[in-house]
Amino acid sequence: MTQKTIAVRASGLGRHYGSDDARVTALAGVDVEFMRQEFTAIMGPSGSGKSTLMHCVAGLDQADEGQVWIGDTELSGLGDDALTDLRRDRVGFVFQAFNLLPTLTALENIVLPFDLTGRTPDTAVLDRIIDAVNLRNRLHHRPSQLSGGQQQRVACARALVTQPDVVFADEPTGALDSFASSELLQFLRRSVDDLGQTVVMVTHEPSAAAFADRVLFLKDGAIVDEILAPTADAVLERMKSFERAVS
Ligand code: ADP
Ligand code: MG
């Protein structure tokens, strides 16, 4: 068994909005590590800082305090161009609202990250990903001709095709029915187990978090708890205990 290495690390991450009386602390000094080939779920009440944390560690938003490393690269040391390259080449994103380009086919959406660089995708990798998301017979359809579940699997394939250091998914099953959710979560799980990906997913569903290797709980911009090898029941119990603690 090989030693796991760190894919993404943040230290002392702080993010604040507004000023004076209206000042909101979205992140209150977060230290966190995401290991390679691990699937982490992030949970917590609405407004607890989940999206802010994800955006800051992904280089989409800049923290006010602290540092982020993707692999050995420290983000605050990068200029705009280097940051743009890093976001395109080393980070994958999946959003609740799919964010596909409506005029492009499924395949064109999947390989879009390469079109932006002029590089060509590794066809073996592309083939594996298309089969893994089970979209082989939908490649020439446009998003409007696909179900929500299929669209989100296109978005996942697009996030994976550059073989990024890490894939961030912010409530990726939020707009899907339970069957499509389950398919998508199984795919994210396989992308870790079979394709060696690193996945960090925000969710508010215990059954979704149970697909992960680890669940982090966020409250008021801080990580307050963790469950390893989570089950849906264990996650639900822990969420209830937080609610009891505040009431
Ligand atoms: P979550 O994803 O857990 O629901 P967010 O990270 O979106 O939480 O938000 C954390 C806190 O920061 C909330 O109080 C939210 O209102 C605030 N916040 C997030 N983005 C902004 C923004 N662009 N301007 C002002 N406040 C924001
Ligand atoms: Mg959010």
Domain of 183 in residue numbering reads as 39-47+80-246
25 belongs to a structural domain: no
Which atom of ligand 1 lies nearest, measured to the CA of 221? 10
Distance (Å, whole) CA 61 – CA 57: 8
* CA distances for 16 relative to 10, 32, 50, 61, angstroms: 16, 18, 14, 12
Edge-to-edge, what's the strand order for the sheet holding 166-170? 91-95, 166-170, 199-202, 39-43, 214-219, 222-228
Number of domains composing the chain = 1
Residue by residue, pLDDT tens for the chain (247 residues) are 556 899 999 999 999 999 888 899 999 999 999 999 999 999 999 999 999 999 999 999 999 999 999 999 999 889 999 999 999 889 999 998 989 999 999 999 999 988 877 788 889 999 999 998 999 999 999 999 999 999 999 999 999 999 999 999 999 999 999 999 999 999 999 999 999 999 999 999 999 999 999 999 999 999 999 999 999 999 999 988 877 776 5
14 belongs to a structural domain: no
Nearest partner of 223 among 11, 5, 8, judged by Cα = 11
Distance (Å, whole) CA 30 – CA 187: 29
- Which residue is closest in CA terms to ligand 1's atom 10? 49
pLDDT at 135: 94
Which atom of ligand 1 lies nearest, measured to the CA of 27? 10
Distance (Å, whole) CA 111 – CA 159: 9
Question: What spacing in Å lies between the alpha carbon of 208 and ligand 1's midpoint?
Answer: 22
1 belongs to a structural domain: no
The bound ligand whose nearest atom lies closest to the alpha carbon of 216 is 1
Distance (Å, whole) CA 166 – CA 12: 20
pLDDT at 247: 58
16 belongs to a structural domain: no
For the chain, where are the E strands, in sequence order?
Answer: 6-17, 24-35, 39-43, 65-70, 73-74, 91-95, 166-170, 199-202, 214-219, 222-228
163 belongs to a structural domain: yes
Q: Which of 23, 51, 53, 54 to mutate to test the pocket of ligand 1 (most atoms within 8 A of CB)?
A: 51
Question: What spacing in Å lies between the alpha carbon of 68 and ligand 2's midpoint?
Answer: 19
Q: Which of 15, 17, 21 to mutate to test the pocket of ligand 1 (most atoms within 8 A of CB)?
A: 17
- In this structure, the residues whose C-beta lies within 6 A of any atom of ligand 1 are 17, 24, 26, 44, 46-52
Nearest partner of 208 among 156, 170, 169, 173, judged by Cα = 173
8 belongs to a structural domain: no
Whether the CB-CB separation of 84 and 76 falls below 8 Å is answered with no
Nearest partner of 235 among 214, 190, 48, judged by Cα = 214
CATH number at residue 241: 3.40.50.300
227 belongs to a structural domain: yes
β-strand pairing of 91-95 with 73-74: unpaired
65 belongs to a structural domain: no
Which atom of ligand 1 lies nearest, measured to the CA of 46? 4
Report which residue type is found at 25. T
